[in-house]
Structure 1
């Protein structure tokens, strides 16, 4: 292998130190501030920034279609968080440009950088209302170092939004928004001066709504790691409490090192794939990793292959060598990882805990033996397409496909029963080793399991 092709690795001691002391998050915050403020004396600027200890100030983006309640929620969040409320109207008040025209990404970035560089934003934090509006603007802001800690997307069905728009009223003195049905001011003085928004029209609202629908997928993907979508077809107090609770949670700054444990058929591989897809962590399945190393033909791979050929268990020491080599690579060190398929017993768990790659989140996926047997023994693979089917949950689409399905030897009832028995023999020891683990009911649909895992993954 050419030296330029070798995967970069972070020494395990350094990776552990960086993770323990949140150095990655600290560097990201400092770099973001440097890019936004662009100080003449960067060294003194960084020293002052660290002395102010303001790296955890609110940085919130509140997005959503017209009439969903962004302005009201943003104003309330700013008050409760003591942060600066910023929207397009405040950014454009000194600019000769109409809000009806889509603002070029470069101009928007310059305006936001200038505003966020002001002392009040640096010291108190900020809530950006309705910014960015497009994925291009989001990417431009990210490249400029404008990186939020939380992104809230309010959404509701089109018919609900259009009905709200028809009842929307504005206090022209303060800019506050009210509604005839569900959000009317108690103060009669305010109520008497409410008017329909003179800048609003149904054609403009429809145009803004269609633009949001076009852009919402791209916006969500740009901020998927810090995103919460809130159903806004509910009473306002419920919507606001959800938003406030979310922005008051700290982001999960530690590099995630997730261990999934559970019997065969509990869904470990599926949950690892879902976590990897959403959070970009590296999916490290021990069995697949060993087969991959064996296929490389290296000295280590040849040794692993000799055990696989004879259907013998690969020795723990060799498995750990393979795992440590993979977990030391830069992608695992920076993005984090999800390990499954190892450890299977107390000795392996002890070796993992004594290594430099201890997990910081451990999940036991719990499900009965009967359910595991049904999940595993009724699944089969189409050798032509590679698609996997299940006799109950995902049957073959035709009789022709059904006839050619192939069941792997490791999915036979006898083999699965033996694996379940071994798991039950070792599970108490594994539970004692990982005393802080989270137990998840895996006898439900995969996305309900994922929501449970995800909620505990991002908790403090």
Structure 2
């Protein structure tokens, strides 16, 4: 670890104020605008940006496969919100396909378009842009960051039927379809013409291309994304889109604290949450071992405690946590901390730092179940696999006979750890009076659902 590079330390009082009033998100918005616009007079530009901050300027992406209805929804949404409808056609110019446009040129053209006065003052709705994860990441790096991302989707057969049965109003260019969008005005109906477009083979190719990219697109925009089923009446689809984009997307960056006795499943639930929501999984014990192994001066201070099996002093633990939780990935994606705090002093120290959780969960489990979960575990020294006498027994007597139990999993050690946890449970709950109690004596999927249902509740 480079000792010359240290994370910015913000006093706790300022950090609390900043999170309460969404200062960090305001700064992110202003920085994004600076990157996009690159004004000659940044100070005047930022003043004008602040003056308009009380008005919600829409910044919306509409994504989806061909035939999902993106264009129709985007056009109506732009009219409703008085935002600028930015289409692929307006960016293509001499290219026939968006995929033919080099990523650098796409970013350049889109930045130029969003820099124009109408987009800046009224906001924008991007229709079908980007189409690949590479395009999405490049746009994000260039500061094109939407407030809301909607992905419309439907079964392939429905999408192909719509694409082949498309009808167009020659006067307005509006797209209709008899089973999806049909004009209420008979005059419009009478002048509809069969839409010109790609062949069925080309549509299939476009659809397959989208299916290859959909996972990457969802991942790139997961914190702002809502997926809407487009295989329903157009009016219902549109109302769901409108309701979503009229909400404030930006919420506090998730900072989750998982507490509970040994064996309650904190590490497993943290991994599940991290995999689904891309928050950073911060296990205090693993983090200390990682820092001890990196050769830094802080790591060298920690290593002797780990070698001797002694508890690492709180001052060192807090330094490590402060460094890790202040890194960019934790600041932007949020984090899940487990393995700390374990007592009142540690909890108070954490409260006094910048690393204050937005949601605290206590995983509740009786001592008997904790002992059963831990003490019946054993490791096969040959394969490295871990088995459990009840939930995952060894596959053969040969494997069973060579299993080894770790010292920290012995009944004596686990009982001592449980007694320590129970001693401090009441004071930890007093530090976090709004914590959510979750019954951990059920299958992991049910525990995860209980955690997930409370992540975004007030």
Asked if these proteins are the same fold (TM beyond 0.5), I'd say yes
| Compared CA separation, residues 347 and 145, structure 1 to 2 (3 A) | closer
Partners of 1:69 and 1:147 in 2: CA distance: 23
Contact persistence 2:3–2:296 (CA under 8 A): no
The corresponding residue for 1:211 is 209
Please say which of residues 38-47 and 201-210 is displaced more in the overlay.
38-47
Q: Does 1:69 align with 2:69?
A: yes
Partners of 1:109 and 1:390 in 2: CA distance: 53
Contact persistence 1:252–1:458 (CA under 8 A): no
The corresponding residue for 1:130 is 128
Deviation at 1:342, TM superposition (A): 1.8
Partners of 1:73 and 1:445 in 2: CA distance: 42
- Structure 1 unpaired stretches of 5+: none
The corresponding residue for 2:156 is 158
Partners of 2:143 and 2:218 in 1: CA distance: 18
SS of the residue aligned with 1:151? strand
Contact persistence 1:285–1:341 (CA under 8 A): yes
Q: Does 1:201 align with 2:199?
A: yes
Normalising by the residue count of structure 2, what TM-score does the alignment of the two structures yield? 0.81
Q: Does 1:331 align with 2:320?
A: no
Question: In angstroms, what is the RMSD of aligned CA positions?
Answer: 3.8
The corresponding residue for 1:247 is 245
The corresponding residue for 2:38 is 38
The corresponding residue for 2:435 is 437
Contact persistence 1:324–1:357 (CA under 8 A): no
User: 1:176-195 to 2 correspondence within 5 Å?
Assistant: 176-195=174-193
Match of 1:149 among 133, 140, 147: 147
SS of the residue aligned with 1:328? helix
The corresponding residue for 1:85 is 85
Partners of 1:398 and 1:168 in 2: CA distance: 63
| Compared CA separation, residues 327 and 385, structure 1 to 2 (3 A) | farther
The corresponding residue for 1:51 is 51
The corresponding residue for 2:361 is 363
| Compared CA separation, residues 405 and 183, structure 1 to 2 (3 A) | farther
| Compared CA separation, residues 385 and 31, structure 1 to 2 (3 A) | farther
Contact persistence 1:224–1:278 (CA under 8 A): no
User: 1:376-428 CA distances to partner (integer Å, 9 max, x unpaired)?
Assistant: 34544343454445566666677765554433333345544554455455434
Deviation at 1:132, TM superposition (A): 0.6
Contact persistence 1:11–1:328 (CA under 8 A): no
User: 1:278-289 to 2 correspondence within 5 Å?
Assistant: 281-289=279-287
Normalising by the residue count of structure 1, what TM-score does the alignment of the two structures yield? 0.81
| Compared CA separation, residues 84 and 458, structure 1 to 2 (3 A) | farther
Partners of 1:251 and 1:168 in 2: CA distance: 34
| Compared CA separation, residues 402 and 25, structure 1 to 2 (3 A) | farther
The corresponding residue for 1:223 is 221
SS of the residue aligned with 2:152? strand
Match of 1:352 among 350, 371, 384: 350
The corresponding residue for 2:270 is 272
| Total equivalences in the alignment | 453
Deviation at 1:29, TM superposition (A): 1.7
Deviation at 1:185, TM superposition (A): 3.6
User: 1:267-309 CA distances to partner (integer Å, 9 max, x unpaired)?
Assistant: 2212333444566654332333444456678887677666656
| Compared CA separation, residues 458 and 165, structure 1 to 2 (3 A) | same
Contact persistence 1:64–1:154 (CA under 8 A): yes
| Compared CA separation, residues 350 and 181, structure 1 to 2 (3 A) | same
- Structure 2 unpaired stretches of 5+: none
Deviation at 1:438, TM superposition (A): 3.4
Contact persistence 2:302–2:316 (CA under 8 A): no
SS of the residue aligned with 2:30? helix
Q: Does 1:112 align with 2:110?
A: yes
Partners of 1:387 and 1:168 in 2: CA distance: 57
The corresponding residue for 1:410 is 408
Partners of 2:378 and 2:187 in 1: CA distance: 71
Deviation at 1:128, TM superposition (A): 1.0
